[in-house]
Amino acid sequence: MSPTTLDDIDRYYAQGALFRDPFNSVRSREGIRDIFQHMFSSLQAPEFFIHEGLLDGQQAFLTWTFSFVWHGRTLQVQGGSHLHFNSQLEIAVHRDYWDSAEELLQKLPWVGRPLRYLRRLLSVRDEGWPA
* pLDDT class of 23 with cuts at 50, 70, 90: confident
DSSP summary character for residue 28: S
Nearest to 29, CA basis, from 56, 48, 8 = 8
Burial track 28-60 (b if 16+ CB lie within 10 A, e otherwise): ebeebbeebeeebeeeeebeeeeeeeeeeeeee
- Per-domain residue ranges of the chain: 3-98
Residue 125 has pLDDT above 50, yes or no: yes
Alpha helices in the chain (DSSP H): 9-12, 29-42, 100-103, 109-122
Phi-psi region of 101 (alpha: psi -120 to 50; beta: other; left: phi over 0): alpha
pLDDT at res. 131: 46
Q: Supply the Cα-derived Rg of the chain in whole angstroms.
A: 17
pLDDT at res. 12: 97
pLDDT one-digit tens code per residue, 81-90: 999 999 999 9
* pLDDT class of 98 with cuts at 50, 70, 90: confident
pLDDT one-digit tens code per residue, 1-16: 888 999 999 999 999 9
- Of the options 3.10.450.50, 3.20.20.70, 3.40.50.1260, 3.40.50.1970, the CATH number for the domain spanning 3-98: 3.10.450.50
